[in-house]
Amino acid sequence: MPAAQVALAWTLARPGVSSVIVGARTEEQLAANLAAAELELTSAEHARLEAVSRPPLLYPFWHHRNAAGERLSAADLSLIGQYGQS
Protein backbone atom coordinates (compact mmCIF):
# COMPACT_ATOMS: atom_id res chain seq x y z
CA MET A 1 0.00 0.00 0.00
CA PRO A 2 1.26 3.51 -0.74
CA ALA A 3 2.95 5.44 2.07
CA ALA A 4 0.55 8.34 1.53
CA GLN A 5 -2.40 6.04 2.17
CA VAL A 6 -0.88 4.85 5.46
CA ALA A 7 -0.07 8.43 6.48
CA LEU A 8 -3.61 9.57 5.76
CA ALA A 9 -5.13 6.61 7.64
CA TRP A 10 -2.88 7.27 10.63
CA THR A 11 -3.73 10.98 10.60
CA LEU A 12 -7.46 10.24 10.45
CA ALA A 13 -7.16 7.91 13.45
CA ARG A 14 -5.53 10.57 15.65
CA PRO A 15 -7.62 12.18 18.38
CA GLY A 16 -9.13 15.50 17.39
CA VAL A 17 -8.67 15.02 13.65
CA SER A 18 -11.94 15.08 11.75
CA SER A 19 -10.68 15.53 8.19
CA VAL A 20 -7.55 15.61 6.08
CA ILE A 21 -6.63 17.36 2.87
CA VAL A 22 -6.03 14.92 0.05
CA GLY A 23 -3.80 16.01 -2.78
CA ALA A 24 -3.18 14.02 -5.94
CA ARG A 25 -1.76 14.57 -9.41
CA THR A 26 -3.38 11.55 -11.03
CA GLU A 27 -6.62 9.63 -10.74
CA GLU A 28 -4.64 6.64 -9.44
CA GLN A 29 -3.17 8.72 -6.62
CA LEU A 30 -6.59 10.11 -5.80
CA ALA A 31 -8.10 6.62 -5.63
CA ALA A 32 -5.25 5.38 -3.41
CA ASN A 33 -5.52 8.38 -1.10
CA LEU A 34 -9.29 8.09 -0.80
CA ALA A 35 -8.88 4.41 0.10
CA ALA A 36 -7.15 5.58 3.29
CA ALA A 37 -10.62 6.27 4.72
CA GLU A 38 -11.26 2.51 4.71
CA LEU A 39 -7.79 1.47 5.90
CA GLU A 40 -7.64 0.42 9.55
CA LEU A 41 -4.18 0.17 11.03
CA THR A 42 -3.50 -2.48 13.66
CA SER A 43 -2.73 -1.33 17.17
CA ALA A 44 0.92 -2.36 16.65
CA GLU A 45 1.16 -0.31 13.43
CA HIS A 46 -0.49 2.65 15.12
CA ALA A 47 1.86 2.44 18.12
CA ARG A 48 4.92 2.21 15.87
CA LEU A 49 3.86 5.27 13.86
CA GLU A 50 3.14 7.17 17.08
CA ALA A 51 6.58 6.32 18.47
CA VAL A 52 8.57 7.36 15.39
CA SER A 53 6.60 10.58 14.81
CA ARG A 54 6.53 11.85 18.40
CA PRO A 55 8.57 15.06 18.78
CA PRO A 56 11.28 15.07 21.44
CA LEU A 57 10.21 16.05 24.93
CA LEU A 58 11.35 19.64 25.50
CA TYR A 59 12.74 21.27 28.63
CA PRO A 60 11.37 21.63 31.28
CA PHE A 61 9.16 18.59 30.64
CA TRP A 62 12.01 16.08 30.28
CA HIS A 63 13.44 17.42 33.54
CA HIS A 64 10.08 17.00 35.30
CA ARG A 65 9.87 13.42 34.01
CA ASN A 66 13.40 12.61 35.17
CA ALA A 67 13.31 14.41 38.52
CA ALA A 68 9.73 13.92 39.66
CA GLY A 69 8.32 11.13 37.53
CA GLU A 70 6.58 9.42 40.42
CA ARG A 71 4.89 12.67 41.57
CA LEU A 72 3.50 13.95 38.27
CA SER A 73 -0.09 15.19 38.26
CA ALA A 74 -2.75 14.01 35.83
CA ALA A 75 -2.19 17.18 33.80
CA ASP A 76 1.56 16.48 33.60
CA LEU A 77 0.96 12.86 32.64
CA SER A 78 -1.35 13.85 29.78
CA LEU A 79 1.74 15.28 28.05
CA ILE A 80 4.70 13.55 29.63
CA GLY A 81 3.15 10.12 30.19
CA GLN A 82 3.36 9.14 26.52
CA TYR A 83 7.15 9.44 26.71
CA GLY A 84 7.52 6.89 29.49
CA GLN A 85 10.11 6.99 32.24
CA SER A 86 13.83 7.46 31.75
* Same-domain status, 81 and 45: no
pTM, to two decimals: 0.65
For residue range 17-54, what is the model confidence (pLDDT) as tens digits? Answer: 888 988 899 999 999 999 999 999 999 999 999 889 88
User: 77 or 42, which is more confident?
Assistant: 42
* Same-domain status, 47 and 65: no
* Same-domain status, 11 and 47: yes
Planar angle of CA 55, 58, 59, nearest 5 degrees: 175
* Same-domain status, 45 and 8: yes
CA distance 10 to 41: 7
Mean pLDDT of 77-84: 80
* Same-domain status, 33 and 66: no
* Same-domain status, 30 and 63: no
For residue 63, give its domain range: 56-86
* Same-domain status, 47 and 60: no
- Amino acid identity of 48? R
Count of domains for the chain: 2
* Same-domain status, 15 and 49: yes
**The pLDDT value given to residue 86:** 55
